[in-house]
Amino acid sequence: MKRLNVVMVAACVCIVAGATARAQMGMDFFKKPAIADIFKPVVGSGAVYETERDQKKSTLEMSVVGQESVNGKEGFWLEFGHTDARSGGMMYGKMLVTRDDFQFHRMIFQQPGQQPMEMPMNPAMQQRSRTTDELEKWHKVGSESITVPAGTFACEHWTKDDGKGDVWASSQVTPMSLVKEVTPTNTMILVKVLTDAKDHITGTPTKFDPSQMMQRRQQQPNQ
């Protein structure tokens, strides 16, 4: 089984433009033989997770908030939301992803109280993760039913070969199937399934300006 590490790389850029993303880099997503086995987008569907890293808890949201054709291919807007450590509010980012090849075509993020910005697409980010050796270090250890705050789910249990990671996945959960993840430094648990997810990014996106973002962050009081 492979991780969908590329998902979080892109999500981190979208949500926080590299500023506070390190809190979520412990997440281990994965890839089955076909991307369609995991990525089952349904507009309006989503999931809310509680994450804990270094004894600090935060909220992570994943949802599908729109659908758009990309060069004749079926694309979906995959939105991520993450607790902003400075303001305590939610920061959001979304990616336009084509279903069949799981490539990213557009990325937009928005900080609390700010105008949305569209990120330039890095060609390397349009490809699936190339860290094949690392991604292959997962194997299925069985099927089991687990209970989390969002309910009880029939899951496939996957573990990392070095014994330092476990993931429980269910086809009942969209968009990425994840129900629970446990590593030595990070936990992630599904707390709510969304059926009426809405796009949190409002306004017309402007072109991403790194210097402008840095200036804004320097003007914000430290918390």
Note the pLDDT tens digit of each residue in 12-64.
333 333 322 323 333 344 443 344 557 789 999 999 999 998 888 889 999 99
Domain positions in the chain are 2-217
User: For 2-217, CATH number?
Assistant: 2.50.20
pTM equals 0.73
76 to 52, 95, 101, 170, 188: CA distances (angstroms): 28, 8, 12, 20, 24
Per-residue tokens: 52: 């804990």
Work out the average pLDDT over 165-170.
89
Closest CA to 6 of 132, 110, 118: 132
Q: How many helices (H) and strands (E) does the chain have?
A: 3, 14
Tokens encoding 81: 């939301």
Which residue in this structure is represented by tokens 């084509």?
98
Question: What digits encode the pLDDT tens for the residues 115-125?
Answer: 898 988 765 54
Closest listed residue to residue 168, CA positions, set 183, 146, 151: 146
